[in-house]
Structure 1
Amino acid sequence: MKSLTSLQLFLLLSTTVFNLFSSTAAIGVNYGMVADNLPSPTEVANFIKSKTIFDSVKIFDTNPNVLRAFANTGITMTVTIPNGEIPNLANEGAASAWVNANIQPFHPQTKIKYISIGNEIVLLGNPAHINGLVPAMIALTEALRKAGPQFQDIKVTSAHALNMFQGLTVPSLARFRVDLAETFFKPVLQFHQQNKSPFMINPYPYFELNVMSDNIDYAVFRKTPGVFDPTSKKTYSNALDSLLDKTYTAMSALGFGDVDIVIGETGWPSLGDPGNKAAGMDNAASYNGHLIRKIVSGAGTPLMPNRKFETYIFALFNENQKPGPIAEKNWGLFQPDFSPVYTSGALRDGPQPNLGNPGFDAEVKV
């Protein structure tokens, strides 16, 4: 075989990198719009398609302007139904009307992949939403079936915060909350198993810092001695793996370890209020840079080796109108002018982060 020129070698490596991103687990981004300075949805769709590694986008409503903007881009979409609509959607007529109004005008030109009914309803604790979720999921799935064969590839799910475990146990002993395990999570997981839809979770090591004794390095994938699970004999090098394995163990304890897990939200803020030691550029770059490499590598977790997790990073933009502390406005990978807030590896042809963690790099074998 004759030797390659420098240009040929560059093109070969570029193709290899592209194939790495395009042939492994989907990696997407949450596109929030709580801001008064964002570009148009059409500009956003063009940017994501042409400049980033993302092949999927999650939004927190069914904004028709956004759905139209992503038509014929090949990018898959997750749309969200507000929590307050859950009780009404248990009615088959209401579910069909919702599909007719919010899905039929757009799909399949816009590739809607998931419908998330509600967001973090257990965290918010409204009994009507908790009790109504499974009936609404069933009714909406039936409405999609009745709408025609072109809609039956859309899966119904709901994104869950990780306040769902009983106690603060190691991953191998994790269980769902006693008050909800049989009455809520078992029917939810049974629905997913029967319909081959994913259990969507929002794991945020940033919000778990108190649980982890404020070990920021462990939370953002930096090299640490790790955390040993004496039951499984596994050592955890990062907090995300621990949260994923807690979820898997709790699911398995109910008999649903075969249900797919999708990461609906995870990320890290790049700026916080004075005294917030966790929020910052370096930590955000470390977390999201390592996250992207990990997901693309398909390395899995200690209890789920080589398992691929479809993942949606939170978030695409900093959102200047979000209420709460400064950190809430600064989860974005990009500024509204599309310039990177920091180097994360999310740009297709952009610079890659210098993660400075040979132990992790060797582990994921990217």
Structure 2
Amino acid sequence: MVAKTKLFHHLLLLVSSLLHLSTTTFAIGVNYGTQGNNLPPPSQVANFIKTQTIIDSIKIFDTNHDILNAFANSGISVTVTVGNGDIPSLANLNSARGWVAANIAPFHPQTRINRIVVGNEIMATANKPWISNLVPAMRTIHKALVLAGITNVQVTTPHSLGILSISEPPSAGQFRRGFDRAIFAPMLQFLRETKSPFMVNPYPYFGYSPNMANYALFKRNRGVHDKYTGITYTNMYDAMLDATYSAMRKLGYGDVGIVVGETGWPSVCDPGQPACSMENAAWFNGNLVRRTSQGKGTPLMPNRRFETYLFSLFNENLKPGPTAERNWGLFRPDFSPVYDAGILRNAQSGGGGGGGRQRPRPTPGSQWCVPKPGVSDQALQANIDYACSNGVDCKPIQLGGACFNPNNVRSHASYVMNLFYQTHGRQAFNCDFSNTGVLTAANPSKSWHMQIHLRSNFEGWIADSVVLLASLVIADSVVSSFVVMALAVQHFWTIPI
């Protein structure tokens, strides 16, 4: 009876978690650049994003009217950009009203323009007229929107991490002296007043070094310790966001939201650049999508869901500079994926189509993630620590838990590695664990003490049990949702315990 009660408890937790995920917004956007002579027309792009991906928003680097028309009535949110050179003139209200009348009013609200970004990384340009007019232009554009009767479009501006004079450790983050009070304090005050976010572009790629590769790529590593908070950071991305937050908090604006305007990883570079590879790009962006969809936040901002714009949608063949500049894209111009970043609805190779938006289909067939033979207990314990700190419920392998026995490191590692793989998208890279994990079609739990197979022979028992338990704690109107989720689990999920 005790074992069955524990079984019911774990099943209910699983189903409720899945129900939560099924109704959660992913907040995944993409930067849609157009510096290419082989790119598809905007109408095809809009259809592809809407029907084939989990992307719910785009950010463009101008106010391209063809793109704005193409995304009308698509349900996709659009962020537009004021050109850097236009900033000084738009500090004037008449000019700002003219700009809004030409570039926002004709398209809104049919096109869901949700945000205007003023310039791009202006603080890194050293252009004094642009910098001095940045906040005045932001205020004036906002006023022009209000005068035009548009009250649901935010105004902000994106920043590189160069705005920070100190970024390590994250809790010591602060803005560059001189700009902190003169520029960032009034900017943050404006953002607070208008309920707009602070936009930052964190790129671990640019902080890559061979000895920090795993730290930059969301791979298992020893971490970087913040001596002031006692927090050990396991990835550079969280550290960058927390350093930005610390700088904002030092000025008294820790309550202002943060949006990630750009981040990504190139798939091809010039020779001699070890950071750049298809595998690294897939690993970084795939894990970023997963982390964003989970809404875990960061150590200093737990449980925050950051609206995040990947860079970029396409490889753009006319971009100047090194090879990497032309290879940041998630897709080729024919819509085929450069690699799997976990944003295609059904992991297809491209093209048009219809249907509702959903998460990408996992690897086909029943597969389990298990430790490779010969992996040391020390490495397996590190896998346990990593998985348990990244979303896996490890209570079942603790003393008194349903999966505590057999009490050995390999058995516990098998449980958490497989659960990490099953609950984090079931992509091959979710079972890498620094090359200590392997996928198998043979169910390893057959040699364990017990298992749950949510298959047809348990259908009535599972559905009845879930409904019975759910009826004790939730309203009748929600019970049917739990039944649906239980049946979905029955067909697609196998979790050894």
Deviation at 1:142, TM superposition (A): 0.5
Answer yes or no: is 1:301 the counterpart of 2:298.
yes
Aligned-partner Cα distance in 1 for 2:75–2:18: 20
* Corresponding residue SS for 2:158: strand
User: Contact conserved, 2:198 with 2:256, CA < 8 A, in 1?
Assistant: yes
Deviations 1:73-119 (A, max 9, x none): 00000000111000000000000000000001101000000000000
| 5+ residue gaps, structure 1 | 1-12
Q: How does 1:122-133 map to 2 (within 5 A)?
A: 122-133=123-134
Q: How does 1:111-126 map to 2 (within 5 A)?
A: 111-126=112-127
* Corresponding residue SS for 1:163: helix
Deviation at 1:359, TM superposition (A): 5.8
The verdict on how the C-alpha distance between 1:21 and 1:35 changes in structure 2, with shifts beyond 3 A counting, is: farther
Counterpart for residue 332 of structure 2: 335
Aligned-partner Cα distance in 2 for 1:140–1:18: 41
Counterpart for residue 237 of structure 1: 234
Q: Please, which of 248, 252, 256 is the counterpart of residue 251 of structure 1?
A: 248
Aligned-partner Cα distance in 2 for 1:331–1:164: 23
Deviation at 1:361, TM superposition (A): 5.1
Letter of the 2:101 counterpart:
N
Counterpart for residue 197 of structure 1: 196
User: Contact conserved, 1:29 with 1:313, CA < 8 A, in 2?
Assistant: yes
Counterpart for residue 47 of structure 1: 48
Deviation at 1:17, TM superposition (A): 7.4
Answer yes or no: is 1:219 the counterpart of 2:216.
yes
User: Contact conserved, 2:218 with 2:235, CA < 8 A, in 1?
Assistant: yes
Deviations 1:265-313 (A, max 9, x none): 0000001000000011111011000000000000111111111100000
Deviation at 1:167, TM superposition (A): 3.5
Letter of the 2:25 counterpart:
T
Q: Quote the RMSD (CA, aligned, Å).
A: 2.2
Query: What is the number of residues matched between the two proteins?
Result: 350
Deviation at 1:121, TM superposition (A): 0.6
User: Contact conserved, 2:167 with 2:174, CA < 8 A, in 1?
Assistant: no
Deviations 1:175-227 (A, max 9, x none): 101121001111111110111000000000011225xx751111010110111
Deviation at 1:46, TM superposition (A): 0.2
User: Contact conserved, 1:221 with 1:360, CA < 8 A, in 2?
Assistant: no
Counterpart for residue 363 of structure 1: 389
Deviation at 1:25, TM superposition (A): 4.8
The verdict on how the C-alpha distance between 1:90 and 1:228 changes in structure 2, with shifts beyond 3 A counting, is: same
Deviation at 1:364, TM superposition (A): 3.7
User: Contact conserved, 1:289 with 1:355, CA < 8 A, in 2?
Assistant: no
The verdict on how the C-alpha distance between 1:361 and 1:292 changes in structure 2, with shifts beyond 3 A counting, is: farther
User: Contact conserved, 1:264 with 1:312, CA < 8 A, in 2?
Assistant: yes
Q: Percent identity?
A: 53
Q: Please, which of 248, 258, 263 is the counterpart of residue 261 of structure 1?
A: 258
Aligned-partner Cα distance in 2 for 1:18–1:126: 50
* Corresponding residue SS for 2:166: coil
Letter of the 1:331 counterpart:
W
Q: How does 1:163-202 map to 2 (within 5 A)?
A: 163-202=162-201
Q: Please, which of 276, 280, 294 is the counterpart of residue 277 of structure 2?
A: 280
Counterpart for residue 9 of structure 1: none
* Corresponding residue SS for 2:306: coil
Aligned-partner Cα distance in 2 for 1:39–1:360: 41
* Corresponding residue SS for 1:215: helix
Aligned-partner Cα distance in 2 for 1:145–1:189: 19
Tell me the TM-score normalised to structure 1 length: 0.91
User: Contact conserved, 1:273 with 1:326, CA < 8 A, in 2?
Assistant: yes
Letter of the 1:306 counterpart:
N
Tell me the TM-score normalised to structure 2 length: 0.67
The structure that has the greater radius of gyration is 2
Deviation at 1:23, TM superposition (A): 1.8
* Corresponding residue SS for 1:166: strand
Aligned-partner Cα distance in 2 for 1:217–1:244: 18
User: Contact conserved, 1:83 with 1:119, CA < 8 A, in 2?
Assistant: yes
Aligned-partner Cα distance in 1 for 2:161–2:248: 13
The verdict on how the C-alpha distance between 1:72 and 1:290 changes in structure 2, with shifts beyond 3 A counting, is: same
Counterpart for residue 91 of structure 2: 90
Deviations 1:308-358 (A, max 9, x none): 100000001111111111011000111111111011101011155899987
User: Contact conserved, 1:343 with 1:352, CA < 8 A, in 2?
Assistant: no
